[in-house]
Structure 1
């Protein structure tokens, strides 16, 4: 795979979307599942959001926004909503999420309304919701839980907020009591934010040890610090989004000395991909996990069984 830093910005911006639903890639993913004896995959980190919001996200990547770390980032699956969902199904993804997130106050309730509608018309999408530290946040989070939200998304880097701040304390407690998982981007990759890193999350978990946090991207680049938190908090999990791929290994490599630790946490690591906003084919994430050589049982658990148990599927 070519180093994405070398792709000219204009070429990346206007590159045609690859045919992600091609028979060849779907067949390759099917062979991966057959090697493991898996009927399907469960991906806890995929992005579906209102089209105009998603297009703004794509534009951010196209124009190398500051939080991309200056990396050239062509979007591989730049497709319409229904086509993207069909691609995941063709790849054998049994369940996926609609990770969406506000970057300012006043957005979350609107995004949650959209996500509830999307889940209603997309049965294989886990009903996803989100929140922002603002007055009334616990009210609309409670309403989302009561309406059936099965997973929440929080993005500390984009939101620019302290997850351990006072405004979110009641919300974390509510989600801990409801046992609803939260996928949270809180690591400092691909670019650090004011409140990213393990420190704020450690403070959250100290107050809410039963909170089912799923740290996105294995917490890159603070991989070992977040592994340490997971080793101390039995309800904390990590997702594999973009970790171990050629793209990520070039600028935020996972330390090989930590592989035994991630192997030992094999029941709390979940498959995530960042689909459709990835600069390589979906199958590459699967191959990147497979080449770690942590064994078929670990890989089966990561790609399906852990999420199936967590979401009672």
Structure 2
């Protein structure tokens, strides 16, 4: 497809609310141009409002986990407004990525997420976990209650994903075939247990685990491509990758683009909405600008996730004439 016109950068006075109809039209043109019925975004954040506000306050304070980088929140709005905006963009399904940073939080977050999924039918029921006594019990409960995707945040949780306390959890999720979006790369700032090695230890024990590596594994992109090539159930999400914001800090090596093209059936659209310092449309623009073709974009932005999560078919729009 021809390159989309670049999305204007967000200026500081634009980050206090959601963007308007111009961006909505731009996002919809993107997927309509591809003949898609919409988008599926596997990496969006919905969580209890007081928790989300603490997350925003952390970004505002330029905490160490953000690498001290200025990080304005573009879509700082209440829950209903954020969900409505995703629907206006044409996002058919999204997630409620949430995560604990200490013991005792995960079960409570899972209860909240189950209720959110009940009242938000287009949200894929999301759960989380933490290495603690009883983790396997609440993971099993979440699976039995219909969880469709899990979130693990190695950086924020500051835990080793290969911790024995999680081994039974990974086994349960591998057996159930439930994907896990895991922030395990060392961006935007390294943690004690980030990087490919701890995840490789998990996969060596649970090779059928459906891990979705968040942020393409930024900045260890090629190491995580290695894991995806070695394990057929490992996938990558595009969250923040290739954007102007991330390319300044951790550019994706262009020599690896042929490998990314070859893994086109295991790359999924993710954005980090609402916690992004630029417009939603920018993530789509930069994917188009990789030059990997319309078939790759259709798979990444919709079809791979639809197949992974067993979403009902929706009619694809006819492609516009060349």
User: TM-score w.r.t. structure 1 length?
Assistant: 0.95
C-alpha contact (below 8 Å) 2:32/2:38 kept by paired residues: no
C-alpha contact (below 8 Å) 1:112/1:130 kept by paired residues: yes
Aligned-partner SS, 2:249: coil
Q: How does 1:123-134 map to 2 (within 5 A)?
A: 123-134=121-132
Matches of 2:147 and 2:255 in 1, distance apart?
37
Q: Which structure ranks higher in relative contact order (CA pairs < 8 Å, sequence separation ≥ 6)? A: 2
Aligned equivalent of 2:18:
19
2:178 to 177, 180, 192: 180
Residue deviations 1:115-169, cap 9 Å, x none? 0000000000000000000000000000000000000000000000000111111
Structure 1: stretches of 5+ with no match in the other structure: none
Aligned-partner SS, 1:250: helix
Aligned-partner SS, 1:19: coil
Residue deviations 1:237-257, cap 9 Å, x none? 000000000000011000000
C-alpha contact (below 8 Å) 1:187/1:219 kept by paired residues: yes
1:142 pairs with 2:137? no
Matches of 2:21 and 2:197 in 1, distance apart?
45
Aligned equivalent of 2:276:
278
Q: How does 1:46-195 map to 2 (within 5 A)?
A: 46-195=44-193
* Structure 1 pair 208–85 and aligned structure 2 pair: CA distance change class (3 A): same
Structure 2: stretches of 5+ with no match in the other structure: 1-6, 312-322
2:227 to 202, 226, 229: 229
**Deviation of the 1:3 alpha carbon:** 9.2
Matches of 2:261 and 2:14 in 1, distance apart?
37
Matches of 1:294 and 1:158 in 2, distance apart?
33
**Deviation of the 1:17 alpha carbon:** 2.0
Matches of 2:301 and 2:264 in 1, distance apart?
11
C-alpha contact (below 8 Å) 1:3/1:247 kept by paired residues: no
Aligned equivalent of 2:246:
248
Matches of 2:99 and 2:86 in 1, distance apart?
21
**Deviation of the 1:220 alpha carbon:** 0.2
**How many pairs align?**
305
Matches of 1:173 and 1:39 in 2, distance apart?
35
User: TM-score w.r.t. structure 2 length?
Assistant: 0.93
C-alpha contact (below 8 Å) 1:15/1:74 kept by paired residues: no
**Deviation of the 1:19 alpha carbon:** 3.3
Matches of 2:16 and 2:219 in 1, distance apart?
28
The alignment's C-alpha RMSD in Å is: 1.4
Matches of 1:160 and 1:2 in 2, distance apart?
36
